[in-house]
Amino acid sequence: MTNYILQLKDVVKKFGGVIALDGAQFQLKKGEVHALMGENGAGKSTFIKVITGIHKPDSGTILLDGKSVSFKSPLDSEKLGIAAIYQHVTAFPDLSVVENIFMGREITTKFHTYDWKAMRKRAKEIIAPLSDRIDVSKPMNTLSVAQQQLVEIAKALSREARILIMDEPTASLTKHECEELYKIVDRLRAQGVSIIFITHKFEDMYRVATRVTVLRDSKYIGTWDVDKISNHDLITAMVGRELDQMYPDKTSTIGEVVLEVKNISKEGYYKNVSFNAKKGEILALTGLVGAGRTEVCQSLFGILTPDSGEILLDKKLINIKSPIDALKMGIGLLPEDRQVQGLINELPIYQNVTAPVLNRFIKKGVLSVDDEMNKSIELCEKIQLKAKNIEETPASLSGGNQQKVVFAKLLNCDLRILILDEPTKGIDVGAKYSIYEIMNELASKGYAIIMVSSEMPEVLGMADRIVVMSSGRVTDSFSTKEATQERILEASLNKKLFEVRGE
């Protein structure tokens, strides 16, 4: 027990009605590198935030060096030697590396002015073991992502962190940079720092970690020695759940191909992506967050334009330069971020619903609000929107109903292809079923549906075919009949890395 520098016992964290952590257990040995794995939404980020003091657990205990602790703010955990390094670096882009490292803890002269010379010297010392190529006087935004991460590590070390949490540090690194990072982790371990290493890559885990903990659906699944568990068992631990969510029956017939995406690439986002969408079919585009799925969708909708490749609609080459083009061609997008991209919260529901097709409601040169409201009521009733009246603003609706407003908006247009980006994100179970019903009905009416989803059960329950993306590329595609959760996860993690262990 005294061997453990950090322990979590039965930690529970809820947000409203949603359970983000359901009785988490965790033991971190002093000086060990402990991997934390799990799918998106498994609870990993809440886990970190509880340890760093951003969230306060609703129940359960956190023990530091055997003593129970309670953090009132992230600064508390920092004082006790806990530091976290995130993917989205919270840095000051225009300020130098030195300043970023020392923000809030500057070295000052006796006149209370910045002692740049001392800070530069110290910064170089801190950075040296991590990288020999970073010029500490340069602004953060001139550094590569990998280098920025190293600066964050340096920053954490300079605060004498004893526990370092690294959140997917290898996500944006080249193979070479990963190697460098592994060496640094080794060195940190040798210095006695205990590390929680969150990753999706098995390769990372094998290389640096001695033990691995798996979270799934906010629950603690288990902890194993890395060299004592097989890949297969690990994957099962991550996804091996009962598929008990009910999905409505599908009655659509799959027709011919309407949309062909051929080898589209966009520098920095995705490469050589190809797939087809058929009438009446629900195609799931899945993978881990950051795989590039949303960017592909945005490229089909005219928000982004591919650098190369072709998109064919009914075998004819098309050029989608803006959402206006996309809608005209019959392609609609249900965006990932409802609040920012999907809805105008300050305006009434019916105005949201009629936004893309205002031309249709012009009578004698002016907008006919009556027509707008009637049509909106018609559409909203069709999808069973629960609202007091059509003039309410979406802000007062539940997540599920807000999403339905966006659906209604899309149904108002003459579309043939619907791209739904995480359609059930942040929606409770009952409303989800309702949305699945809508999707099935649309499919049976002949729409081609492309659904981006990170929820495996949803993918397996709703899709006819599955395309998996990882790090900007399509890694696998197969029909749902051939699919298993394991196969999807393997593709999401990019199978190549399995060759490490020869399995």
Partner 1 sequence: MDNKNLEIRDLKVKEKFTIKKFLLRWEMILIYILVLINIVLMISKPNLYFEASTIPSIIQSGMDLSFMVLGMIFILMLGDIDVSIASIMILSSMVMGLIMDAGINSVIAVICGIIAGGLCGLFNGILVAKINMPSVIVTIATMSLFRGIVKIVLDVNVLKNFPEVFKTLSWHNLFGFIPLSLICFLIFAVVFSVFLHKSKFGRELYMIGNNKVASKYSGINVEKVKIIAFVSMGVMSAVSAIFFVGRMGGGVSSTMGKGYELEVIAIAVLGGISTSGGKGKVYGPVIATLIMSFLSYTLGLLGVDANTRKIVTGVILIIAVLIPNINKQLFKNIKEFLLSKKINN
Partner 2 sequence: MAENIFRKITQYRNFGLLVGMIILIILGLIITPAMFTMDSIISMLRNNSIYAILAIGMMFVLLTGGIDLSVGSTLALTGVVSSLLMSTNPGIPAVIWVLVSILIGALCGFVNGFLIGKLNMIPMISTLGTMYAFRGLAFLISGGSWLFPHLFTPGYTWYSGGNFLGIYNITWIAIILFILAAIFLSITKPGRRIYAIGTSSESSKVSGINEGNVKILSYTLCGALSGLAGMLYTANHAISFYGMAEGFEMQAIAICILGGVSIVGGKGRIDGIVISTVMMAFISYFISLLPGLSVWQDAIQGGIIIIAVVINIITLKMADKRTLKEKGALI
User: Whose Cβ is closer to partner 2: residue 101's or residue 435's?
Assistant: 101
The β-bridge relationship of strands 282-287 and 211-216 is unpaired
Restricting to residues 341-380, which ones interact with partner 1 according to CB under 8 A? 341-347, 351-352, 355-356, 358-359, 362, 365-367, 373-374, 377, 380
Cβ pair 212, 37 in contact under 8 A: yes
315 binds partner 2 (CB under 8 A): no
Per-residue contact track with partner 1, 391 to 430, x per CB under 8 A?
A: x-----------------x---x-----------------
Integer Cα distance of 278 and 281 in angstroms: 5
As measured in angstroms, the least distance from the Cβ of 438 to partner 1 is 13
103 binds, among partner 2, partner 1, none (CB under 5 to 8 A by kind): partner 2
55 binds, among partner 2, partner 1, none (CB under 5 to 8 A by kind): none
As measured in angstroms, the least distance from the Cβ of 421 to partner 2 is 20
Integer Cα distance of 99 and 94 in angstroms: 10
Q: Which stretch binds partner 2 (CB under 8 A): 190-198, 337-345, 468-476, 492-500?
A: 468-476
Helix (H, G, I), strand (E, B) or coil at 154: helix
Cβ pair 83, 104 in contact under 8 A: no
Cβ pair 471, 288 in contact under 8 A: no
As measured in angstroms, the least distance from the Cβ of 448 to partner 1 is 19
Residue 503: count other Cβ atoms within 10 Å of its Cβ. 9
Cβ pair 441, 379 in contact under 8 A: no
In this structure, what are the phi and psi dihedrals at residue 46, rounded to the nearest 5 degrees? Answer: -65, -40
Q: Is the dihedral of CA 182, 188, 191, 196 positive or negative?
A: negative
Selected binder of partner 1 within 41, 139, 323, 457 (CB under 8 A): 323
Residue 64: count other Cβ atoms within 10 Å of its Cβ. 20
Candidates 463, 468, 450, 456; CA nearest to 287 is 468
Sheet with 282-287, edge to edge strand ranges: 331-334, 417-421, 448-452, 282-287, 465-470, 473-479
Amino acid at 264: I
92 binds, among partner 1, partner 2, none (CB under 5 to 8 A by kind): partner 2
Cβ pair 475, 493 in contact under 8 A: no
Selected binder of partner 2 within 56, 61, 75, 137 (CB under 8 A): 75
172 binds partner 2 (CB under 8 A): yes
327 binds partner 1 (CB under 8 A): yes
Number of chain positions touching partner 2 (CB under 8 A):
32
As measured in angstroms, the least distance from the Cβ of 346 to partner 1 is 4
Torsion, Cα 88 89 91 94, to 10 degrees, reads -80
Selected binder of partner 2 within 473, 486, 487, 495 (CB under 8 A): 473
As measured in angstroms, the least distance from the Cβ of 174 to partner 2 is 6
436 contact partners, CB below 8 Å, separation of at least 6: 247, 248, 424, 461, 462
As measured in angstroms, the least distance from the Cβ of 114 to partner 2 is 4
Q: Is the dihedral of CA 7, 10, 13, 19 positive or negative?
A: positive
269 binds partner 2 (CB under 8 A): yes
Q: Which stretch binds partner 2 (CB under 8 A): 102-110, 129-137, 392-400, 453-461?
A: 102-110
As measured in angstroms, the least distance from the Cβ of 354 to partner 1 is 8
18 binds, among partner 2, partner 1, none (CB under 5 to 8 A by kind): none
The β-bridge relationship of strands 282-287 and 465-470 is parallel
Positions in the binding site for partner 2 (CB under 8 A) = 74-75, 90-95, 99, 103-104, 106, 108, 112-114, 116, 141, 144-145, 172-174, 267-271, 292, 471-473
List residues near partner 1 by CB under 8 A. 301, 303, 322-324, 326-327, 333, 335, 340-347, 351-352, 355-356, 358-359, 362, 365-367, 373-374, 377, 380-381, 384-387, 389-391, 409, 413
